[in-house]
Structure 1
Amino acid sequence: MEACSMHDPSILNSARSPDLERNDSGDFLMNQTVQNFSWKDLTVTVKDRETKNTRDLINSISGDAQHGELIALMGPSGCGKTTLLNVLARRAASSGAKVTGETYVNNSQVDSKNFQRMTSYVEQEDALIGSLTVQETLKFASDLSLTRYVNCSAEIPLITTCTDCKSSVSKHQRMERVRTLLEAFGIQKQANTIVGTPIRKGISGGQKRRVSVASQLITCPKILFLDEPTSGLDSTASYEVISYVKALARANNLIIIASIHQPSTTTFNLFDKLLLLSSGRTCYFGKTENVETYFDSIGHPVPLQTNPAEFLLDLVSSDFSRTKEPAGERVQAIQHAWKESTQSIAIERQIAERVNSVEKVTKDWTEDDMTRPNGLSITMALLHRSFIKSYRDVVAYGIRIVMYLGLAIMMGTVWLRLHPSQEYIQPFTNAIFFGSAFMSFMAVAYVPAFLEDRATFAKERANGLYGATPFMVSNFIIGLPFLFLISMLFSIISYWLSNFQPTAEAFFTWVMWIFLDLVAAESLVVLVTAIFPNFVIALALVAFANGLWMSVGGFLVTPTILNPFWKYVFHYIDYQAYVFQGMMVNEFAERNYSCGPGCQCMYTTDLADQCMIRGTGVLESYGYATGRTGKWAGILVGIIAVYRLFGWIALYLRKN
């Protein structure tokens, strides 16, 4: 397949037939564009917490969008803009909400999975990876969506476009997309600047909005939903962003629906249609150029030299009134006037006629229209992105490495040069517990880093780029080398300073236990944070779990006398318990200790007549047997696998 030439206006302006075709199997195919997107009688109902009565967040909203159109969704705060946008994008409207009504693509119903693949959604809150540069953010968005469409009609204007992109897009072409988007959104000077983390300052809030929009445009959607795309932008930047979005819609026959709050006159006039809401009901839906004529016809003329957007928002606000007429009555009259208007009736009739004229199907996109994302390529792209984040974001591993090095120095100097005599047996045991327990406890520092990753995953999964499996696999793999590095650095300092068993085998066995301990602790963080994606809740639960594991691990109360409930319910699933007993065996199984002057041995073993204590005597007091290192390590690996599996299930089932 030959790539089309760059900057070819004949290609950008070439009309592609939007008609539906039928293949040999009888399925409907969409040739190159989404011809229209319509919605009918959309209603979202929730139960009021105080009165327990039902109330509507949005009520009987209908509308229609044609390819190439840019539609503004406007209304006062709390009118239901974001709720409607979420319903149109088939996202959760509200907790416990009941949604009724229908949406149609090319006059037919499309199942949610395929609808997800043909749409993208830019949320109001930017879910960006702060340690990536602006250019890297767009690059990875392009890489993750590379196999999203076979027929990529939604190419970026002025970038390589083609009539049949059966072959993969080259790296050079993808970088050209990135470059053009950077220039179009005025962020080319920030291309090599990081987005920004809590510790490292990056780009401004307005620039983040532009990056968020650009990162979704590069994924070639057929329908694009934008929630407040101009939030945080000044009037000039807002105009430029909306102007480019409109050019994109027209050049590529896209449908773009954007919620927007109080745009300037010039920005408002860029929109082709306006859907005006108040209290969850329609006040107007139609061409932007006809707004003034319509409101003049119902007795609310737009004053001269007035921003029509500001006037309309004031007019349909039910909270405040600048006239003697009560705001609520005025808004109800406007809503009633729209419902009875010829335009509203015509829209309802038009949608009904078009839908009824086409055989209803549940799948408009077939395997010939789109490809399934390649799991390996997606995982590799995520690994690459995670690798950059891991070494660049000090929150992810940098701070933790410093923390663990500080812990190693503290441990090595507090338990400094312990001797193989009985008065040091308890300090040896204390050091083993401290090293293993607090290493895992300090894994709570991974919570904010995983929350950021999870937020990015939720956004990209909702836009149909990939599922929970590639994310969990890449997250697990990328952590292993960093955790091994931490384990090695910690052990090199603390192990030899404390004078544990001075053999290479014992040292590397110790490293193994520390490494498995950290992997299990991080897996616990992933599980808890996957279920509870809230910083305070996740931090509290992880800390509580680690406190529980310390209590039943075998040090504070030996397994031989531990309460049966705690022993059989929690001790055997406690990863810290296996680490502690493995490290105890590593230290005491092959080492003897002197009883000191007077030969008053604390532990009675077969070496008592030699004024010595065999280390196995210490292990027997805890109920630990030797020769089970492999078994314990295997159980620990199993616990890690279960944590990761449950974390995957939580992400798979939870949709936000």
Structure 2
Amino acid sequence: MRPSQSADGVELLNIKPREMETLSPDVETQADRKPEFKNVDIENLSWRNLTVTVTDRKTKQQRNILSSVSGIAYPGEVIALMGPSGSGKTTLLNALAQRHVANPSGKVLINGKKGSLETHRTISSFVEQEDTLIGSLTVEETLNFAASLALPRSISRIEKRARVSRLIKAFGLEDQRHTIIGTPIQKGISGGQKRRVSVAAQMITEPRVLYLDEPTSGLDATASFEVMSLICKIAREQNLIVIASIHQPSTKTFNLFSKILLLSQGKTCYFGKIPGLHAFLADLNMPVPKHTNPAEYILDLTNTDFQQMDEGPSLEYIHVSWQESPHAQQIIDDISTLRGPDLLSTKAIMPPGVISQTITLLHRSWIKALRDLFVYWIRVAMYLGLAVMMGTVWLRLSPVQGNIQSFINAIFFGSAFMSFMAVAYVPAFLEDRAVFVKERSNGLCSPTAFLLANFLMGLPFLFLISVLFSVISYWLINFEPTAKSFLVWIMWLFLDLIAAESLVVLISSLMPNFVVALALTAFANGLWMCVGGFLVSIPELNVFWRYVFHYIDYQAYVFQGMMVNEFKARTYDCATSQDGGSCYCMYPSSSQDSCRIDGTSVLDRYGYAKGKEGQWIAILIGIIVVYRFLGWTVTWFRKT
């Protein structure tokens, strides 16, 4: 496969059907063997009487958000889906792409035949409206990782990199090859260039059909024209079918499209070439005025939100006129006569499996974690500041009975507030999740690989945080001054942070909204603090709270583990009178005759027994596993 030169010298991909490789059609069957389609031309894509029905929330009645929409697309054509907001553009695009649509009916045909979901996913790619890209990666790295996730293992690394290089040249991104996409604190490429990267990432599999959801969203007129003109050029050169929903293009951009499918209230108002649109509207006595952007005119014509009852012909008139027109009937007749080669499965190949996906995602996450300050480094700095504050507030506590409560307070603060601060992980996880949702919808990544990579990536950073926090705070406070106790403290803190981050993953997967996830995570941590055994000791805790929440509270096991670590082998001096003649011990213990308090007496007061640390560790690990499993379950069933 060799790149070809366009008229203006831009190197373009010379995509040939016989070289087309498949990717996984659905995340639920990533491990299955997939068919490879060879020596096949996609001669046409058609859809007949597509209808999507939903239940109205207010009336509880069935209503159509798409009604009997039909059309045909041929290779080299770029079709614009247009219409006012709520007209059904995105729904139609999802239905054509065989994505998740409620109660669809009708047919989507390839070469005049109904293809399977697997076939549609194999020959097509979908570009989301939002540029869901990882800002800390460069353009080249973004495409390299897309190739690693999308392309089967039978394609060599050299060929994958060659495809990436050709795409970078084809989309005019050569000068931005090593420029990062951009983060809130690091400037990257422009908005138009981001759109080109998003499209290029989906072109890595060399699809025959490309679906674009609002490719010019958020771009000015110049950038919109730049993006669409490049897409149109590549579609013609590579003989691709491109179907794009677009809201309100400029006149220059509007004239780039091969055909227009105009929707309103889920019904077709027109489908065909732009000159035919002018003729159709003229026949209805609604000609496009001179010196007027036709895109704006037809949107005003079909927009019912602000239309007055006495403002010209009704929308229903346009709908009926189109349905009764010879053009609409000709489309139906053409669909019934479409023919083309069968898509035959010639051999089975293996797409990247869960292990390969996990390795790729780990590599990508590692680069992101090193470069993006918001992922872990802000949290590292935050925890270091917390360690200094904690260490200087409880500075060098001496082992006397008057400081026992201060030691306990410091243990509670060190365990509970460290886990509470895990709420800072919510935005980073939601960003990763947004990228995953996009990749999953295109069959590139499974929930197992995503969450496994997320878990493994967090371990070294959480361990680093645990060590740095402990090195500063533990010795400043003067906890049990032995190496063994220090290492045990780090272990409990490490498990505490893993559990806290696992809770964040679960809640953020269940409620992928920043404000809601943040609020629920904070509420859950507040609940765990209340029932953990510090504010109210276990023997005195209300039966309901003890049996319903205390025993599933990961903070409770961390707190009691740290308590045992501090008090099981340490003694504290009792208070003596000024003349040194009498001694008063706050806790009764076997050493009070020596004017000392055994730390075990403090544990008895809180109801903590020695020798159960192994059991607590096992329970804590079990809670982590349950959190992660529930997070995986929610992610598996939640498609958005």
* Preserved CA contact (<8 Å) 2:149 2:357: yes
**Aligned-pair distance for 1:28?**
11
* Cα 1:13/1:474, change in 2 over 3 Å: closer
Matched residue, 2:14: 12
Aligned residue among 497, 511, 519 for 2:490: 511
* Preserved CA contact (<8 Å) 1:210 1:229: no
Matched residue, 1:300: 286
* Preserved CA contact (<8 Å) 1:235 1:264: yes
Distance 1:599 1:464 in 2: 73
Matched residue, 1:599: 583
* Cα 1:213/1:567, change in 2 over 3 Å: same
5 Å-filtered alignment, 1:12-31, equals 12=14, 31=39
* Preserved CA contact (<8 Å) 1:519 1:640: yes
* Preserved CA contact (<8 Å) 2:3 2:13: no
Matched residue, 1:342: 326
**Aligned-pair distance for 1:210?**
2.6
Residue 103 (1) aligns with residue 108 (2): yes
* Cα 1:476/1:117, change in 2 over 3 Å: farther
Q: Greater shift after overlay, 138-147 or 304-313?
A: 304-313
* Cα 1:516/1:239, change in 2 over 3 Å: same
* Preserved CA contact (<8 Å) 1:487 1:514: yes
Letter in 2 for 1:34: I
Aligned residue among 328, 349, 371 for 1:392: 371
Distance 1:305 1:216 in 2: 37
Residue 573 (1) aligns with residue 552 (2): yes
Residue 524 (1) aligns with residue 503 (2): yes
**Aligned-pair distance for 1:415?**
0.8
Aligned residue among 145, 148, 167 for 1:143: 148
* Cα 1:468/1:197, change in 2 over 3 Å: same
* Cα 1:34/1:330, change in 2 over 3 Å: same
Residue 190 (1) aligns with residue 176 (2): yes
Matched residue, 2:23: none
Aligned residue among 78, 83, 92 for 1:75: 83
Distance 2:140 2:402 in 1: 61
Q: Deviations over 1:411-448 (max 9, x none)?
A: 10111111111111111111001000000000000000
**Aligned-pair distance for 1:637?**
1.1
**Aligned-pair distance for 1:320?**
5.2
Aligned residue among 393, 398, 408 for 1:419: 398
Distance 1:411 1:349 in 2: 78
* Preserved CA contact (<8 Å) 1:34 1:253: no
* Cα 1:65/1:530, change in 2 over 3 Å: same
* Preserved CA contact (<8 Å) 2:112 2:337: no
* Cα 1:114/1:236, change in 2 over 3 Å: same
Matched residue, 1:40: 48
Residue 635 (1) aligns with residue 622 (2): no
* Preserved CA contact (<8 Å) 2:288 2:297: yes
Aligned residue among 377, 381, 385 for 2:356: 377
**Aligned-pair distance for 1:7?**
4.1
**Aligned-pair distance for 1:143?**
1.9
* Preserved CA contact (<8 Å) 1:116 1:462: no
Matched residue, 1:162: none
Matched residue, 1:202: 188
Distance 2:207 2:552 in 1: 46
* Cα 1:505/1:11, change in 2 over 3 Å: closer
Q: Deviations over 1:279-305 (max 9, x none)?
A: 221011123343333333443334455
**Aligned-pair distance for 1:274?**
1.5
Q: Mark the runs of 5 or more structure 1 residues left unpaired by the alignment.
A: 19-26, 149-166
Residue 309 (1) aligns with residue 263 (2): no
Aligned residue among 235, 258, 267 for 1:272: 258
Distance 2:408 2:130 in 1: 49
* Cα 1:365/1:621, change in 2 over 3 Å: farther
**Corresponding residue pairs, total:** 616
Matched residue, 1:155: none
Distance 1:83 1:567 in 2: 49
Matched residue, 2:212: 226
> Per the alignment, in what secondary structure is the counterpart of residue 541 of structure 1?
helix
Distance 1:496 1:429 in 2: 15
Q: Deviations over 1:226-284 (max 9, x none)?
A: 01112233444333322332333344443211011233344333322211112221011
Residue 213 (1) aligns with residue 211 (2): no
* Preserved CA contact (<8 Å) 1:76 1:317: yes
> Per the alignment, in what secondary structure is the counterpart of residue 600 of structure 2?
helix
Distance 1:604 1:562 in 2: 22
* Preserved CA contact (<8 Å) 2:82 2:260: yes
Structure-1-length-normalised TM-score: 0.87
Aligned residue among 532, 543, 546 for 2:522: 543
Matched residue, 2:455: 476
RMSD, aligned CA: 2.8
* Cα 1:14/1:558, change in 2 over 3 Å: closer
> Per the alignment, in what secondary structure is the counterpart of residue 560 of structure 1?
helix
Structure-2-length-normalised TM-score: 0.89
Distance 1:478 1:13 in 2: 37
Q: Mark the runs of 5 or more structure 2 residues left unpaired by the alignment.
A: 7-11, 21-34, 577-581
Q: Deviations over 1:534-591 (max 9, x none)?
A: 0111001101110111111111111122112111111111111111111111111111
Letter in 2 for 1:614: D
**Aligned-pair distance for 1:650?**
0.5
Letter in 2 for 1:269: N
**Aligned-pair distance for 1:61?**
0.8
Aligned residue among 613, 631, 634 for 1:647: 631
* Cα 1:509/1:310, change in 2 over 3 Å: same
* Preserved CA contact (<8 Å) 2:89 2:245: yes
Letter in 1 for 2:554: Y
Distance 2:326 2:349 in 1: 40
**Aligned-pair distance for 1:353?**
4.5
**Aligned-pair distance for 1:642?**
0.9
> Per the alignment, in what secondary structure is the counterpart of residue 296 of structure 2?
helix
Aligned residue among 34, 41, 63 for 2:71: 63
* Preserved CA contact (<8 Å) 1:33 1:67: no
> Per the alignment, in what secondary structure is the counterpart of residue 347 of structure 2?
coil
Aligned residue among 362, 365, 383 for 1:404: 383
* Preserved CA contact (<8 Å) 2:13 2:167: no
Distance 2:497 2:307 in 1: 60
Matched residue, 1:156: none
